[in-house]
């Protein structure tokens, strides 16, 4: 069986470092926030080139706290891509605001910048570009539009840790960047975890308050907040993994390049990388008009694959109240019908990769 991702293989590759980090945390007695979390926050802030990094319980919470810190709520609209993980839309709805969908570029699956301006209304307060699959969204025109219309930009960088846009790390370009450390991410914890990053000191202070019940001073709530803290054990594990993430991302790029070379002559669409971006291949996603048949065939061969995402958020049950219809965002809907993620993780062997490619070749022939 070839898995989509092999977290055990990654653990064993740095087992001594992980075990030492866990043991040191257990011996420290600091389990919620504390020195391990602060050290990891500082590491991420330095890596991304931002002033503030605030560890949270999940990437979803990162989006919620970003929206709350920007005072986005009932009556407000937030522009998001029509092809993304549901949390991008769900978090907007959870603060009482309305997600406004924009179709995606069919070649990169990133938000179609040319369509954003047509969706801006007096109620628009923010844009959330998503660096989907590890490829950066086209941020310069997003930022220009936002500044021209007085909007805020929240980067959903859950899948793009280490990716670059014109030499800048994704997550560091907008007003707030949101990170996820879900176990399968390029930098993944051994449980849930997330982070918000920003250069705005006032926003940083607000989000630190929001993560701990609205406190500046312990037990003295100044507003209704959350219990959303990155715990010390996860921070210690992430800190142990952190020095390896660039090498792991480079290995992902090598595997992706090999996939693309071998699949280019077959009847599937392989991922692309824009000249201004550096893709970190959180997922290696191909497209086929026989996607479901291909997935079933791979499963028979003992090869895991995954559909991200079978239903675009505008067609989900919670979004029905907004009146979107099938056919409104054709490229997002086509992606939901045709995309398939293949096994990709830094420890994937050449032999395993050949087996995946040969299975796809067999199916298409």
Question: Under a CB-based contact definition with an 8 Å cutoff, are residues 264 and 116 in contact?
Answer: no
pLDDT of the residue at 19 = 98
Question: Each residue of 144-182: pLDDT tens digit?
Answer: 999 999 999 999 999 999 999 999 999 999 999 999 999
pLDDT of the residue at 11 = 98
pLDDT of the residue at 77 = 98
Average pLDDT across the chain, whole number: 98
Question: Each residue of 111-129: pLDDT tens digit?
Answer: 999 999 999 999 999 999 9
DSSP E strand boundaries for 173-314: 176-180, 194-198, 215-217, 220-221, 277-278, 284-287
Q: For residue 193, what are the contacts with CB-CB under 8 A and spacing of at least 6?
A: 55, 56, 57, 58, 180, 181, 182, 230, 231, 234, 235, 238
pLDDT of the residue at 168 = 98
Four-way CATH pick for 7-102+109-242: 2.40.50.100, 3.40.50.1170, 3.40.640.10, 3.40.50.720 = 3.40.640.10
- Report residue 172 as tokens: 């560091």
Alpha carbons 227 and 211: distance in angstroms, whole number:
6
pLDDT over 90 percentage in the chain: 100
Question: Each residue of 125-150: pLDDT tens digit?
Answer: 999 999 999 999 999 999 999 999 99
The stretch 76-101 carries a mean pLDDT of 98
The stretch 252-277 carries a mean pLDDT of 97
Q: Is 33 exposed, middle or buried (0-12, 13-18, 19+ CB in 10 A)?
A: middle
pLDDT of the residue at 176 = 99
Closest CA to 287 of 300, 269, 267: 269
End-to-end CA distance of the chain: 22
pLDDT of the residue at 150 = 98
In the block, which residue shows the tokens 């290995």?
A: 251
Question: Each residue of 322-358: pLDDT tens digit?
Answer: 999 999 999 999 999 999 999 999 999 999 999 999 9
SS3 assignment, position 294: helix
Preceding omega of 37 cis (within 30 degrees of 0): no
Alpha carbons 311 and 332: distance in angstroms, whole number:
9
The stretch 281-287 carries a mean pLDDT of 98
pLDDT of the residue at 45 = 98
Has this prediction a pTM greater than 0.85? yes
Listed by start position, the domains of the chain span 7-102+109-242, 244-364
Rounded (10°) CA dihedral 166, 170, 172, 176: 140
Q: 244-364 architecture in CATH?
A: Alpha-Beta Complex (3.90)
The stretch 242-260 carries a mean pLDDT of 98
């Amino acid at each position: 069986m070839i898995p989509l991702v092999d977290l055990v293989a990654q653990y064993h590759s740095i087992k001594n470092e992980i075990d030492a980090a866990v043991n040191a945390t257990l011996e420290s007695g600091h389990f919620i926030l504390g020195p391990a979390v602060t050290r990891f926050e500082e590491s991420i802030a330095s890596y991304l080139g931002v002033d503030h990094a605030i560890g949270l319980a999940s990437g979803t919470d990162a989006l919620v706290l970003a929206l709350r810190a920007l005072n986005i709520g009932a009556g407000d609209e937030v522009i998001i891509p029509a092809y993304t993980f549901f949390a991008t839309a769900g978090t907007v709805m959870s603060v009482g605001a309305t997600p406004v969908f924009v179709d995606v570029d069919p070649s990169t699956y990133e938000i179609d910048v040319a369509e954003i301006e047509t969706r801006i209304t007096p109620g628009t307060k923010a844009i959330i570009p998503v660096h989907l699959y590890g490829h950066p969204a086209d941020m310069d025109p997003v930022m220009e539009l936002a500044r021209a219309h007085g909007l805020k930009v929240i980067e959903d960088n859950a899948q793009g840790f280490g990716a670059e846009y014109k030499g800048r790390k994704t997550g560091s370009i907008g007003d707030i960047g949101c990170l996820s450390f879900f176990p399968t991410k390029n930098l993944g914890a051994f449980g849930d975890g997330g982070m918000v990053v920003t250069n705005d000191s006032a926003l940083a202070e607000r989000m630190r308050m929001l993560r701990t019940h609205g406190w500046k001073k312990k037990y003295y709530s100044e507003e209704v907040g959350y219990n959303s803290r990155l715990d010390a054990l996860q921070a210690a594990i992430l800190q142990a993994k952190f020095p390896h993430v660039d090498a792991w991302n480079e290995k992902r790029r090598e595997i992706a390049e090999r996939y693309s070379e071998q699949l280019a002559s077959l009847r599937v669409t392989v991922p692309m990388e824009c000249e201004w971006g550096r893709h970190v291949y959180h997922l290696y996603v191909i497209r086929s008009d026989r996607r479901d048949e291909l997935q079933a065939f791979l499963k028979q061969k003992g090869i895991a694959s995954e559909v991200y995402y079978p239903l675009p958020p505008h067609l989900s049950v919670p979004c029905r109240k907004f009146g979107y219809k099938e056919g409104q965002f054709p490229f997002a809907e086509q992606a939901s019908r045709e995309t398939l993620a293949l096994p990709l993780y830094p420890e994937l062997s050449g032999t395993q990769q050949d087996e995946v490619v040969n299975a796809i070749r067999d199916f298409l022939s």
